[in-house]
Amino acid sequence: MKEILVLIDFEDPTESVAAYAITLAQAFQARCWLLHVASPDPEFVGYEPGPQYIRDHRATELKNEHRQLEGLKAQLQEKNIPCEILLIQGYPAQIIQQEIKKRDIELVVMGHHRRITLREWIVGSVGKEVLRDSPVPLFIIPVDSAS
């Protein structure tokens, strides 16, 4: 096992996911790909790229997410784990599947909240989609959320 995809959502499980990724990468002498799928840009009816203040706010969010990924990457590199970051906008389950195939991923590490929100009950969750559609093994860290 040489390629591990680590799913990062910047919520409660991020630190637990990173800790397990470090342990697994060291055990298998694997490279980690830290993937955060950012929400797609909002679409505005009647506007080409959207109002400037929305674009500026979105750019700031993406810069902050990238900075957080760089911090996680540094943690892994301190442990001599080869690591790359991926910050991709799109629909999470679709992007995750694309990256698994594109990078010959052999294991996916992800956190999963134990609580179920109304939205998840009605339309499902990214975690369930990944679980249902993954062509590779998943290492799922159950996380109790404060909310």
> Chain centroid to CA 109: how far?
9
Backbone CA torsion sign across 1, 135, 89, 15? negative
Record the tokens describing residue 103, joined without a space. 């990078």
Helix (H, G, I), strand (E, B) or coil at 86: strand
Q: Output the DSSP codes for 4-58.
A: EEEE--SSTTHHHHHHHHHHHHHHHT-EEEEEEEEPPPPP-TT-SS--HHHHHHH
Backbone CA torsion sign across 5, 83, 86, 117? positive
Q: What pLDDT is stored for residue 55 in this prediction?
A: 77
Total domains in the chain come to: 1
Residue 67's domain is classified under what CATH number?
Answer: 3.40.50.620
pLDDT in tens, 51-107: 777 778 888 999 999 999 999 999 999 999 999 999 999 988 999 999 999 999 999
pLDDT in tens, 102-143: 999 999 999 876 655 544 444 456 777 887 888 999 998 887
Tell me the average pLDDT across 41-51.
60
pTM: 0.84
**Residue 31 above 90 pLDDT?**
yes
**Residue 147 above 90 pLDDT?**
no
All residues at 6 or more sequence positions from 88 whose CB lies less than 8 Å from its CB, including other chains: 35, 36, 37, 38, 95, 99
State which residues form the domain around 94: 3-143
Record the tokens describing residue 43, joined without a space. 């679409």
